[in-house]
Amino acid sequence: MFKRDRKTIICDPEICTGCEICEFICSLTKEGVFQPYHSNIRRIRIEPIVNFAITCQFCKDPPCVGACPEKALTQDEKTGIIRIDENKCDGCGFCVKACPFGAIKIHLKNEKVIICDQCVDEDDGPQCVKYCPKEALEHTTLDAYADKVSKGAVEKLLKAYTEEKTS
């Protein structure tokens, strides 16, 4: 489902506090207002303690593109970013329903689809990653993130093993 060499925004739920700054900075960057409803990233809270942010995962064969009856969505072959032709988008929401991650929304004012574009117009990359106060967001490939998580798991196991041996 994923093209592993494409960068995406990944959230570490062990670090994320659910502060919503990613949503606020996204809406400010994209819409010029502090309004999470206009954000292309979504903070999700699973009660009582798990928080994480989700955005478009740039699927290899994105179901949202195939679900659009107006052909308003296309995917950039290199980056995987989903482009929206606002002249074709009628806000029907089929793409919203087709997204397995819940990462697509309908804009409240213009009733067109909004999807994360990784802040391609910003010189310093995704603003949500830049301004996350806990550094819970990372702009990376799935392979690089998997390597990081694997390395962290091994380090935790080694630490637990050494602590057990010394006690």
Residue 40 lies in a domain: yes
Q: Is the pLDDT of residue 3 over 60?
A: no
CATH code of the domain covering residue 50: 3.30.70.20
Residue 1 lies in a domain: no
User: Number of structural domains, the chain?
Assistant: 1
Nearest CA to 15 out of 138, 167, 123, 164 is that of 138
Residue 101 lies in a domain: yes
- Whether the pTM exceeds 0.75: the reply is yes
CA angle 39, 22, 25 (to 5 degrees): 70
Amino acid code (one letter) for 133:
P
Q: How many CB atoms lie within 10 A of CB 92?
A: 16
- Residues composing the chain: 167
Cα distance between residue 42 and residue 23, in whole Å: 6
Tokens of 86: 């606002």
Residue 159 lies in a domain: yes
Whether the upstream peptide bond of residue 13 has omega within 30° of 0, thus cis, is: no
Q: Is the pLDDT of residue 4 over 80?
A: no
113 strand-pairing partners: 106
Domain limits for position 138? 7-166
Cα distance between residue 24 and residue 40, in whole Å: 10
State the DSSP code for 60: S
Could you tell me which residues come within 8 angstroms of residue 164 by beta carbon, excluding any fewer than 6 positions away? none
- pLDDT tens per residue, range 107-156: 988 999 999 999 998 999 999 999 999 999 999 988 888 888 888 788 88
